[in-house]
Structure formats: C-alpha cells, structure tokens
Amino acid sequence: QVQLVESGGGLVQPGGSLRLSCTTSGFALNDYAIGWFRQAPGKEREGVSCISRNPGRTLYGDTVKGRFTISKDNGMNKVYLQMNTLKPEDTGVYSCAAVRRMIGCQLVSSYYGEDYWGKGTLVTVSS
C-alpha cells in the first residue's frame, strides 16, 4: 500500500526554520519524483519544490528560492524540505506527492495525478 506521511510542521516565528519530512512506503523512492506543495487558506495550491529520481535534480518556486532546500534519503524512504528565513506568507498546509517518472519533476500538481498524496502538515509562521 502506497503511503506518504508528512511531519515536522508547527508554529514558528518569522525568520525561523523548520524541516519537514515526507516518509514514503509501498514503493521504491528512487523510481519516483517527489513534489512539495502548499495551500494557504482561501488560496490555490502552490508548488514549492520537487526532486526527481536519481540523480535527484531539484526545482524551486520563485517565492522560496534561496530559502528552502529539498533533499532525499532513498535508504530511509524520506524526502526533506528544509525551510529557512520563514515568512508569514509561507503559512499553509504542506503536502508531498509522488509520481513515477523517468526524468525530471514539475511544480504543477496535475503532474502527480491524484493517487499518491499525503494528507499534509500545517506550518504557521507568526509572531
């Protein structure tokens, strides 16, 4: 059974950091591209970052470039999103998604279909 479970969210002050984890099971992580998305209340889902299957090429949305870093550990079946210099506008529910692709990744949710998504973890950036 394919599962993706996000963790690491919480309340953080502006300028702070969090590291999110996406723990996967039921598939070989090194065969899949993984994307991180977020959705703020009343807003559309936004692509944050993604990482392709080996050798793990990465993409970042313009609003997070230079502040967020995506990485993965195939042996641990985890994908991480290190978030630094957080801003109030980074607040939202962060979800990870997986798709089996030979090359690349994209920051568009339709690229990942509807089947392999986690339920999300809430990140709140506020003083």
Rg of the chain (C-alpha set):
13
Picking from 33, 36, 32, the residue whose alpha carbon sits closest to that of residue 90 is 36
Residue range 61-69: average pLDDT? 98
Render pLDDT for 71-118 as a digit per residue (tens, 0 to 9).
999 999 999 999 999 999 999 999 999 999 988 999 999 999 999 999
Tokens 């309340």 label which residue?
11
User: How many other CB atoms are there within 10 angstroms of residue 12's CB atom?
Assistant: 18
Render pLDDT for 5-53 as a digit per residue (tens, 0 to 9).
999 999 999 999 999 999 999 999 999 999 999 999 999 999 999 999 9
DSSP state of 113: T
Length of the chain: 127
Picking from 97, 126, 107, 124, the residue whose alpha carbon sits closest to that of residue 41 is 124
pLDDT at residue number 92: 98
Give the model's confidence band at 54: pLDDT under 50 very low, under 70 low, under 90 confident, else very high: confident
Tokens of 57: 């090429």
Tokens of 75: 């042996």
Picking from 87, 84, 98, the residue whose alpha carbon sits closest to that of residue 50 is 98
What are the residues facing 56 on neighbouring strands?
Answer: none
Query: What average pLDDT does the structure give for the chain?
Result: 96
Give the model's confidence band at 56: pLDDT under 50 very low, under 70 low, under 90 confident, else very high: confident
Is 90 exceeded by the pLDDT of residue 55? no
